[in-house]
Amino acid sequence: MDELGPVAQQHVRRAVDALSDEFAGVHSREIIERVMYDSVVQLAGRAEVDDFVATLAHRFTRERLKALARKTQSETEQTDVLFVGLGDSGRGQIASALTMLRSGGQLSAHSAGSTAAAEVDSSVIAVMQELGVDLDEAYAKPLSPEVLEGADVVVTMGRSVGEITVPERTVHLDWRVGDPTGAPIDEVRRVRDDIDRRVRDLVEHLSGTDSTA
C-alpha cells in the first residue's frame, strides 16, 4: 500500500476489518487482505484523493469477495450477469444498470473493463439520469478473475473489448453495439436505447420478468 498516504492506509485497514466482519465464516482475513491490497494497486492513481481510492477499493473488494463466494455455493438466489466493455466507462455501465432496473432486482448485474478508464463518461451518466437511473456513484472497474468466474452470463460489448477467456460453464453473449464514450449526446442516447432493447430481451429470457414497464 505504499501508493497511499498514512491516513488512506488507515482507511484501508478499517475496510479490511469491516469486510472481515461481513464475510466471517466465508473468507479468511488473509484472503480479504490479499484481495483488498490487490484492489488498491489496481485502482491507485485513478482518483486525485487517496481517501477516495480507499473507498473505491473497499467497494471493488466487496464485489470481488461476493463473486468469489459464489464459486463455492451450489445454489444461488440470483443469476449473475457480467457486462465487459473496453474501459467500463459506457456500454457496460449502461447495460448493468438497466439489467437491474428492468429485472426489478431479480438479476444481479455487474460491469467491468478489459482496460478500465479513469471515470464513467459524463454523457452516459446524463442519459441514464433521463431514465431515472443515478450513476453518480458509479466508477470504472478493471475486469477481475473473481467477478469473471463468478458470473453465470458474460456479455462482451463488441470486438473492441479484446480477447476475454470466458469459463466453459458460463453462457457467453457478444453484443455489437456502438461506443458512447466521448460521443455526441444524441449518439449516446441511441446506444442507450439499443442496449435497453437487448437488456429487455435478456431479462425476459433469464427470468421471465416482463421488462416492458
Boundaries of CATH 1.10.8.1060 in the chain?
A: 6-70
DSSP H or E stretch at residue 109: strand 107-113
Read off the pTM: 0.85
Boundaries of CATH 3.40.50.2300 in the chain?
A: 79-207
Q: Please, what CATH class does the domain formed by 79-207 belong to?
A: alpha beta
pLDDT of residue 15: 93
pLDDT of residue 49: 46
**Cα dihedral 183→153→131→142 (10° resolution):** -50
Name the architecture of domain 6-70: Orthogonal Bundle (1.10)
**75 burial type by CB count under 10 A (0-12 exposed, 13-18 middle, 19+ buried):** exposed
55-95 pLDDT, tens per residue? Answer: 889 999 999 999 988 876 655 578 999 999 999 999 999 99
Spell out, as residue ranges, where the chain has pLDDT lower than 50. Answer: 49
- Report whether 195 contacts 201 (CB < 8 A): no
